[in-house]
Amino acid sequence: MNRARPDPIIPDHEVLRKIGGGAYGEVWLARGVTGALRAVKVLWRDDFEDERSFEREFEGILKFEPISRDHPGLVNILHVGRSPDGKAFYYYVMELGDDVIAGRDINPVEYEARTLRSDTKRTPGSKLDTGFVIDVGVRLAEALRHLHDNGLAHRDVKPANVIFVAGRAKLADIGLVAARGQRTFVGTEGFVPPEGPGSAQADVYSLGKVLYEIATGKDRMEFPELPDELPPGSERKRWLALNQIICDTCEPHLSKRRLSTAGDLAEALRRLQEGKRRRRRRPVGAFMALVLCAAVVIYGGWDHLQTLLPPRLPDKPELQPVKIKVSSTPAGATVIDESTGETIGSTPTELIESHVGERIRFSLKMLGYEPCPIDMVVPESAAGGTLFLSPELKVYAPPAINEPWTDQLGQRYMPLNEGHEAVRPVGETEWRRFAEGKPDAYAEFVEITEGDTKRKVALTSHGDAREFCFWLATEGIKQGYLSEDHQAEPHMVEGFQAEGISEKARNEGLKPFRPYVSKIPFGTLSVRAEPSGAEVIVKVGDVEVRRSEVSGMVELSGIKPGEMEVSVWMEGYKRSVQKLTLKPNETRDLFFKLELNHSVVMDRPWTNSLEMSFVPVMPGDLQACIWETRVKDFSAFLRAAHPEIYQVEKPGDHPVVHVKRSDAMEFCAWLTKVEREQERLTDAHEYRLPTDYEWSFMAGLKSELKVSTPDRREQQMLQIFPWGVAWPPIANGANLGNFAGSEAATNPGMSPERVIFGYSDGFATTSPVGSFPPNAIGLYDISGNVLEWVQEDYIPNNGFGVMRGGSWKSWRQQDLYTGFRYTLTPDLPDDACGFRIVLAKVPPKEDTGPAESAIDEDG
């Protein structure tokens, strides 16, 4: 069904003309911002039966996009995106193929892509050169193998979808690429195998039919009919070998199909290309295969023959054998088959029988090392070969009760009480490894005799000995010699005497020490709070070590003994704090009764001390001010923090301008401090600038990736405004924001050409906040009035900040696209630079390693 559609809008591209189309999309010629010509495939939503089918195809192209650039036999996908409304269509931008006549010398007006279909049309009924066919087959088979190894299937391999770039064949029209196994019937009649599309085997069958057409000059529906004339002389033998490969690939019965993987087909064709004999499972002469193929024609064709056969179920795919060899570093690990519980052997193992597609679950176990799981599906790339698995085992050798132990430094320990003590004091070698990069760590070294040998031991203070033990425990945990439950502390060697001890060492009491390793004697906090639903936070110093919700009562076990602060808070209530010292193995009962106050509750609208109004954006985690920061808000900050520069230039309800990013951040820090002192905020809340991602979310761009950077997000920018796709920014006769209308041209230095034609908003510069309609979540001026600073640089650490949202100076459409990023040096203020603040939860400072032993030195 033909539909009248507008030309698609593709960001950063000038769409020139449609150059192709079919049931699953249109191909357009476009010119990018660099001037390079590109092909753009557009797939419309209303060409699909339902939303799920449309989204499934989009998911396929998203998976294919990074894969496409990793193989020379695939047309490169340069960018994937959606229509400005996010619904009408999706598109992808590709490298442009050669012109059918002029090659790479492309004239946009006359351009027609060179494909295998166009090559065959130029000499209808004639076969192409055998060497050319083999070369194309090798490239496309290798491309399919790459595609299949990444879990995708093409689903529409045919001559029209093989395009030439710089004279080399590539698989194109990957709009139908999807996860292998999707059985939606797509593809082209005659190229789809009897068992249906969507599998790796189906793609290989389709490629075989492509090779049949170009090798014989016949239509794929005529397979396996031979051409009227075979190549003469020595070329005939090569052609017959190629035909044998095609017959083995296009056998209708899957169980009898000798070439059903892309890897097998690529190998067979490459050996033919190199003049080598083909590896065969069982010998069948090329001439005999030719006779078998021709026999089908004699009996009236395969389609007629099938009508004479009784119906039967489809053949099951042949399981392709694989050998697996499991090794490890170090060798000698026991290999257990987790699916059966049986022990296979030790590494390196003998060859293990398996098949492509089979799930294997092994576990490697070895004393002194962590168990190493192997859980995977045998890949198709291993078919007919050996899958070699050789993981590196991670050391895990913590001390065992009543057993000698050796740490990562090679120091030996013997059991003592509930732990292990080093057999001898820390020596010069161990100390110097610890002291690298620690100029404040001080020790002297004295030679002592141990049995028949002499060595130098370290004499140090108790404090530096504790630092050594903390380092020893930290490194031990990293390297697998200790668990997170272990600690190390020094046992000082009292009464030590030896020759060569300096006066400084005697005066300062420097002594040797032996590390003592033991389990941490954890304590438990039993916390009750009213009202229920509050949050308890345990801190050691400034480091948060535990956080939990108190629903009636909560037990926090595994708390390291020592001094700590326990606080309980709930939004809308005053924080309650208790400081205590938890003893080893102690259980401490704590009760908190919270007092109601007027502090912020993050999932409700909020008005702060400056009468700035906030609404939840990400309920519970983020609120945004509905206005850009006003002159009167910033003036309060200047009066308090910088009275020497305080002055008022504009009415208080206009957004403040001439603001550097550092000024905006200082305002946020000041306001946070003030309102924490007023107990409007707790130390779990802070004012700050939004991140680039948060600003996009506030403006309605919820599809951008959080784990990315502003420059990369802008690469995915859609040509859509915060109000939609209308231009100029007028809806139902009402202006939608303060932009560069006709009034802006009256300002000194403003050119009459740099305004939005036909637009008048009534303001020559800034307007009072809230003068225009808010967006869907209640934010005013998310587009227009002033540019708004966000936290990040455009490219990390490149020195250019990011501003969002356009301003009263903005007149170009691109400046007002929601995804556009305006870049500016952060310390360069401008009369269009302002900011909007958010109220956010403070991310906790988490414990990043084992804390030093909190047990009293005497205990």
Binding-site residues from annotation for ATP:
41
Helix (H) / strand (E) element for 263: namely: helix 262-273
β-strand pairing of 453-459 with 444-450 = antiparallel
Residue 373 CA to residue 328 CA, distance in Å, equals 12
First-last CA distance in the chain: 86
CB distance 521 to 561 below 8 Å: yes
Residue 212 CA to residue 220 CA, distance in Å, equals 7
**CA-atom Rg of the chain in angstroms:** 37
Quick one: CA dihedral 513, 517, 518, 519, positive or negative? positive
Instruction: For residue 487, give the nearest of 852, 846, 856, 859 by alpha carbon.
Output: 852
Residue-wise over 644-682: b if at least 16 C-beta within 10 A, else e?
eeeeeeeeebbbbbebbbebbbebbebbbebbbeeebbb
Q: How many degrees, rounded to 5, is the angle at CA 278 between CA 272 and CA 281?
A: 155
Residue 182 CA to residue 59 CA, distance in Å, equals 12
Residue 535 CA to residue 554 CA, distance in Å, equals 10
Residue 311 CA to residue 498 CA, distance in Å, equals 98
Instruction: For residue 409, give the nearest of 393, 423, 391, 389 by alpha carbon.
Output: 423
Q: Hey, which residues does 458 pair with through a beta bridge?
A: 445
Q: What are phi and psi of 519, to 5 degrees?
A: -70, 140
Cα within 13 Å of Cα(834), Cβ side: 30
Q: Which amino acid is at 821?
A: R
Q: How many CB atoms lie within 10 A of CB 827?
A: 11
Running DSSP on this structure, what letter comes out for residue 108?
A: T
- Kindly write down the DSSP assignment for every residue of 678-717, as one continuous string: TTSS-TTEEEEPPPHHHHHHHTT-TTS-SSS-HHHHHHT-
Q: Which amino acid is at 249?
A: T
Residue 655 CA to residue 653 CA, distance in Å, equals 7
Mapped onto helix, strand or coil, the DSSP state of residue 292 is helix
Residue 116 CA to residue 99 CA, distance in Å, equals 12
Bind-site residues:
41
Instruction: For residue 211, give the nearest of 162, 253, 168 by alpha carbon.
Output: 162
Helix (H) / strand (E) element for 638: namely: helix 631-641
Q: What are phi and psi of 394, to 5 degrees?
A: -100, 130
Q: What dihedral do alpha carbons 636, 641, 645, 650 form, nearest 10°?
A: -20
CB distance 419 to 517 below 8 Å: yes
